[in-house]
Amino acid sequence: MGFILEDGKGQGYKAQINSSNQLLTSATTESLLSRRSSASQTAFGISTPMLTINTTGGRMLFIKNLSSTLDFYITDFWFNWNGGSTNFNRPCYGELAFGDTVPDTNITISGAGNLHLSSAITADLTVLYWNETGNGMTGHTAGNTAFYWTFNNTPAFYHTDGSIILGTQNTLSVNLRGEETGEGSINILGFMKER
């Protein structure tokens, strides 16, 4: 004979026990990003358009967390690159840095889009990307490089599962440089969460 389990809402459900005296259960798994999008509507996407990335390179994307109470947890990065506009098989080099000051030249003001499409919640982030004048955004002091990477004409996807955290009032920037001039874009997914 089964016994009754009480759930958090006070309804009783009979539990099924198999012949080995094991409680039968079922569960589903969802990503942190999916959970934040559905439960609290605080998952966001940041993207640049396709930009002409040259061989000098420069700051292509800048993000500052303006919140005093919420951190921005980055779950995914992906970078698109056409391999260059002549040979289409040349690498692109990336640099992720923390602690830049806000650039004020060669910028386009952007924002973070809420991934829960019916939500009106906004992210308290400053998002700037390069306006394709000169060699990247300028008028800032460079921060500290966190890491470098190289990718080719296949989109480079990096799943960080929220391990890169942009704390309150902190900044992140991405620099890209092609081995030859080509087209590329930057995409970031993440969620806002209390510290």
Domain ranges of the chain: 30-194
What integer is the mean pLDDT of 152-157? 89
Percent of the chain topping pLDDT 90: 77
| pLDDT number for residue 179 | 96
Least reliable range by pLDDT among 18-27, 40-49, 63-72, 128-137:
18-27
User: If you compute the radius of gyration of the chain from its CA atoms, what whole number of angstroms results?
Assistant: 22
pLDDT interval class at 5 (50, 70, 90): low
Average pLDDT over residues 136-155: 92
Q: Is the pLDDT of residue 1 over 90?
A: no
Strands annotated E in 66-181 = 70-81, 92-98, 107-110, 113-114, 125-130, 144-151, 156-166, 171-178
pTM: 0.85
Distance set, CA 152 to CA 1, 64, 81, 146 (Å): 62, 28, 7, 21
Question: Could you report the per-residue pLDDT of 155-167, keeping only the tens digit for each?
Answer: 899 999 899 999 9
Q: In the prediction, which pLDDT does 8 show?
A: 63
